[in-house]
A and B are shown apart, each in its own frame.
Chain A
């Protein structure tokens, strides 16, 4: 049989459904691949070998009993370490939660289990999902399978690298400012951020609650859509969950794969014309847009004058919410406690615990948020950023009166070498220049491979209106039908 780890989730599910491969065989093949390459890639923080094989055996037993299986039954999936997994370590890439085994499953993970997918383990990430390179993980960075000396993107670099290294056919990420899409772009894989509220945040360790959105990662657009359908939909445990059905993303991906985009209007954002982006990235992007027009799409230039303020607004709103959310890490109910020697007071123990448990980027953002929310600064910083958020939303609404989707490069630069953007934190923030507006607006966005620059993958981002996630899958699948999937050099 062909190498199971090179197959798409769709292909694997078909083999399992017909009995040509068992879920245990598929799972073992991926566990073997992890054992062979992950000491170099470091995509995983925890591999749940026993749990994965047990889940796979359960799928095989259900098939043997004649039960009807879901469309992804028996397919392995890697889960970003930001989602709680009952009894399985969940660190969020931070020392402050080292060794924590949550007493409950997040909704996303519960739905993955109910669908019969097989969780292989938990993937590496920038601490608390703050970063664009995995260099802020407390457990060391992940290598990009295209060049192990370069970053895999972040914060969800572990999930995307696991896909590109053929350690898993599916993965879960979370996207607050681009943490699904930018890693997808720089690893040559697909990453989709659903509409905010379209996927449940219950059990997602909170960074910025008004922006955090879990979503699917895969090597093909159809696989991402299938995973989106499994994890999406209303959840009463999340009060910001949208009480509507998941848009028909699977049908849209299948429709797009026919390569017909007749009548689809693509918007090019005037303000994203290339300033701050590498020429090679812009060239690959323009070629991809030309390819989309050959499939029948019409290109319209639209102006979104407030997008230039999205990055500053984001770096006030997200740190403000983070400074509040991360107050729960106080050394009392879970995780690390430092300095509890009978001499230090509770407040001193909290301060010592947080200083020892949080890394530098998390501390910077907590202090920045504390500053932006302070009396005397609130109106000028946090309050003003919230008003800018309104104007960015209006820009999107006006644009979507003229076009069906907006397209841009996903990130301004290809995978960069380790250490090249850590000295000046703001240089790291620029990785999310093109992805952040969507988070502030709340709509969906997807990154699909569109070519290479300097031998490294470039992603094209498709942004759609709120709850019109299907549109981005259609255009993404059409692009994939022209470009194909990207294959990294052998590890």
Chain B
């Protein structure tokens, strides 16, 4: 029996923000099934009362002296960005053009340039 279906893989791709193709889905569904069946072996271990380990170094509340040190300049921080404008990261539009008009009806939606 499969551990994971093609539909579940398509859902994972959406959650992971990966615009995978149909061909990729076919390949990944088979491969992820093999991997999941193998890693599911962790379930064989009786570990109900065992505390989890998230990290091998038991450090807590790691603080440093409150001293100002130089950081990146604005130009340096923006130097690798695919696009920037007015000293800011420029991103594609966030609001959908097809969004319903504002309850007040007529006129351009507020907040749009």
On chain B, the residues within 8 Å of A383 by CB distance are 52
Q: Are B19 and A351 in contact (CB under 8 A)?
A: yes
Contact of B92 among A346, A390, A440 (CB under 8 A): A346
On chain A, the residues within 8 Å of B52 by CB distance are 383, 386-387, 389-390
Q: Are A364 and B39 in contact (CB under 8 A)?
A: no
Query: Is A239 at the interface (CB under 8 A from chain B)?
Result: yes
CB of B22, distance to nearest CB on chain A (Å) = 12
> A384 with B17: in contact, given A334-B80, A368-B35, A371-B4 (CB under 8 Å)?
no
Query: Is A231 at the interface (CB under 8 A from chain B)?
Result: no
* Count of residues in B whose CB is under 8 Å from the partner chain: 55
Give complex CA distance A171, B55 in Å: 27
List residues of B (1-32) whose CB comes within 8 Å of A's CBs: 4, 8-9, 12-21, 24, 27-28, 31-32
On chain A, the residues within 8 Å of B86 by CB distance are none
Contact of B56 among A335, A337, A354, A442 (CB under 8 A): A442
On chain B, the residues within 8 Å of A306 by CB distance are 45
Query: Is A111 at the interface (CB under 8 A from chain B)?
Result: no
Q: Are B41 and A367 in contact (CB under 8 A)?
A: no
CB of A451, distance to nearest CB on chain B (Å) = 31
Give complex CA distance A56, B55 in Å: 40
Query: Is A107 at the interface (CB under 8 A from chain B)?
Result: no
**Which listed segment binds B: A58-66, A128-136, A286-294, A325-333?**
A325-333
Q: Are A236 and B64 in contact (CB under 8 A)?
A: yes
Query: Is B36 at the interface (CB under 8 A from chain A)?
Result: yes
Closest to B27 in A: A360
List residues of A (426-473) whose CB comes within 8 Å of B's CBs: 426, 429, 440-442, 466
Query: Is A407 at the interface (CB under 8 A from chain B)?
Result: no
Q: Are A352 and B19 in contact (CB under 8 A)?
A: yes
* Count of residues in A whose CB is under 8 Å from the partner chain: 73
On chain B, the residues within 8 Å of A350 by CB distance are 17
Q: Are B54 and A364 in contact (CB under 8 A)?
A: no
On chain B, the residues within 8 Å of A425 by CB distance are 31, 34-35
On chain A, the residues within 8 Å of B44 by CB distance are 309
Contact with A along B58-80 (1 / 0, CB 8 A): 01001010000000100011011
Q: Are A351 and B18 in contact (CB under 8 A)?
A: yes
List residues of A (78-132) whose CB comes within 8 Å of B's CBs: 100-104
Q: Are B35 and A332 in contact (CB under 8 A)?
A: no
Closest to B3 in A: A371
Contact of A309 among B42, B62, B81 (CB under 8 A): B42
Contact of A315 among B20, B35, B77 (CB under 8 A): B35
On chain B, the residues within 8 Å of A390 by CB distance are 47, 50-53
Q: Are B47 and A312 in contact (CB under 8 A)?
A: no
> A210 with B92: in contact, given A104-B72, A239-B59 (CB under 8 Å)?
no
> A371 with B12: in contact, given A312-B42, A346-B94, A350-B17 (CB under 8 Å)?
yes
Contact of B57 among A360, A367, A442 (CB under 8 A): A442
Q: Are B41 and A332 in contact (CB under 8 A)?
A: no
Among A330, A351, A360, A387, residue most surrounded by chain B Cβ atoms (within 10 Å): A387
Q: Are B80 and A335 in contact (CB under 8 A)?
A: yes
CB of B88, distance to nearest CB on chain A (Å) = 11
Closest to A308 in B: B41
Q: Are A332 and B89 in contact (CB under 8 A)?
A: yes
CB of B92, distance to nearest CB on chain A (Å) = 5
Closest to A357 in B: B18
List residues of A (274-326) whose CB comes within 8 Å of B's CBs: 306, 309, 311-313, 315-316, 323
Known: A103-B76, A355-B21. 7 other contacts (CB 8 A): A104-B76, A309-B44, A315-B38, A355-B18, A363-B13, A384-B43, A389-B53
Give me 17 A-to-B residue pairs in the complex whose CB atoms sit less than 8 angstroms apart, sorted by A's number: A101-B80, A103-B72, A103-B77, A315-B38, A316-B39, A316-B42, A337-B82, A346-B91, A348-B19, A354-B16, A360-B27, A364-B28, A371-B36, A384-B47, A390-B52, A424-B34, A425-B34
